[in-house]
Amino acid sequence: MKPPAAPALRTGTWTVLSSRTSAAFEVRNFGFNRVRGTIPVTAGTVEVTGGGVTAVAATLDLGALDTENPRRDADLRKPQLLDSAACPELVFEATGIRRHEGWEVTGTLKLRGTSCPLTLTVAPPTGGGPGGVRVRATGTLDRAPLGVRAPRLMIGRYVRIVVDAWLEPPS
């Protein structure tokens, strides 16, 4: 039996529903432990034209980062790591979008006045009812270009990212 077709995204600007969207991360700690956490997505848009998805942007709130360990969260927010007091937002902007089974979105992640490339693989959307559509994106971030300095033994260099986003259709 053939799976149902992914819902088509109609032309216009789709808005990320922050209350239903999460950005999760996973990174190695001390070489073998895995630390998992979330960072709230406070804003985002996906622009769709007749040719498909043409732009993606998202803003995340570093001050609300949560690993379920308050001491670790406070350490991550310090100036030598994320510096969330001075720079509370993490911003992603697409620089290229390529259609395949879903999409491959290449872009720039900006933090503390620096930026680095990030590629996300986006699965085809699901849902499509009045509650919007759901998309799931995954990628791996190299934290070194962002200037997040910590010994690799303490915090792994590569961070796995999973974004589970709900998009509200254009009105």
Q: Whole-model pTM? A: 0.88
Amino acid at 109: L
How far is C-alpha 148 from the geometric centre of its chain's CA atoms? 17
Judge: domain 12-168, CATH 2.40.128.110.
Answer: yes
Give yes or no for a contact between 60 and 53, defined as CB atoms under 8 angstroms apart: no
User: What is the tens place of the pLDDT at every residue in 83-108?
Assistant: 899 999 999 999 999 987 789 999 99
Provide the residue ranges of all domains of the chain, joining segments of one domain with +: 12-168
Q: Give the pLDDT confidence score for residue 147 in this predicted structure.
A: 74
Sign of CA dihedral 138, 140, 145, 148: positive
